Copies of this chain bind each other. A is one copy, B any other.
Amino acid sequence: MAEEPALVWAKERRRPRRQAPSVEQIVRTAITIADTEGLPALSMRRVAADLGSGTASLYRYVASRDDLLDLMIDEVKGAEDTELTGDWRADLASVARQVRATLLRHPWLSGEIPGRPALGTNSLRRHEAALAAAAPLAGDITFVAGAVDVVLAYVFGTVTQELAELQAQRRSGLTKEQWQASVGPYIREVIESGEYPQFSRRVIEGEDRGAEEVFEFGLGCVLDGIAARSPR
């Protein structure tokens, strides 16, 4: 540690840093880090470093790392927006596609949503929009709410499945090729064991439909089921 010099002019200029980071900047910086380097890279020190401020300063604006994550979640939901046509099926589908897009854009999101009730401003606004989209389905709000919940549950579930392998690969720190090279032999072994006939058929015979197609297939199923139960 450098000793305080006796000579006045040798003293380093007393901090010119008097910049307040502001909650919004903190949240945005945190989202950028999580998006590009993954959640584990998101530490308070890291956020502060990227902002050029001291770590402890962040705590003037954000109570804890956990609160920061809540704010991040609500922030990314704010980017969504749907205009409604009055056709419940089309509207609900477009809400679903937007939620999917958001989840895909921020891979850390699906892992952080469990365990947090969605009560932020943007979450509420989006939930409101979803309910409005489904409103033409029935006069009974309980039915409408049920329909929305089912659709959103499906969306969250599929996207989570869709992201699983991608995330695992990223977490391992391997390249795509290395990853496949390490998983491949294991899968082959599983198939050759003969204990998983259906699974083997799926891997060998099954055609690999694109993620989008899979998503739309399931969405169609869900919406059909809802339509069949609608009182109108």
Contact = CB atoms under 8 A, between A and B. Distances in A.
Given A118-B164, A205-B141, A146 B190 contact: no
A214 interface: yes
Interface in A127-156: 127-128, 131-132, 135, 141-142, 144-146, 149-150, 152-156
A3 to B, nearest CB: 36
DSSP majority for the A interface?
helix
Interface residues of A, number: 66
Copies in the complex: 2
Given A111-B111, A117-B164, A141-B202, A196 B228 contact: no
Given A150-B217, A157-B160, A220-B229, 7 more contacts: A66-B171, A114-B167, A117-B168, A141-B202, A150-B221, A153-B160, A222-B222
Interface of A: 66, 110-111, 113-119, 124-125, 127-128, 131-132, 135, 141-142, 144-146, 149-150, 152-158, 160-161, 163-165, 167-168, 171, 183, 186-187, 190, 195-199, 201-202, 205-207, 209, 214, 217-218, 220-226, 228-229
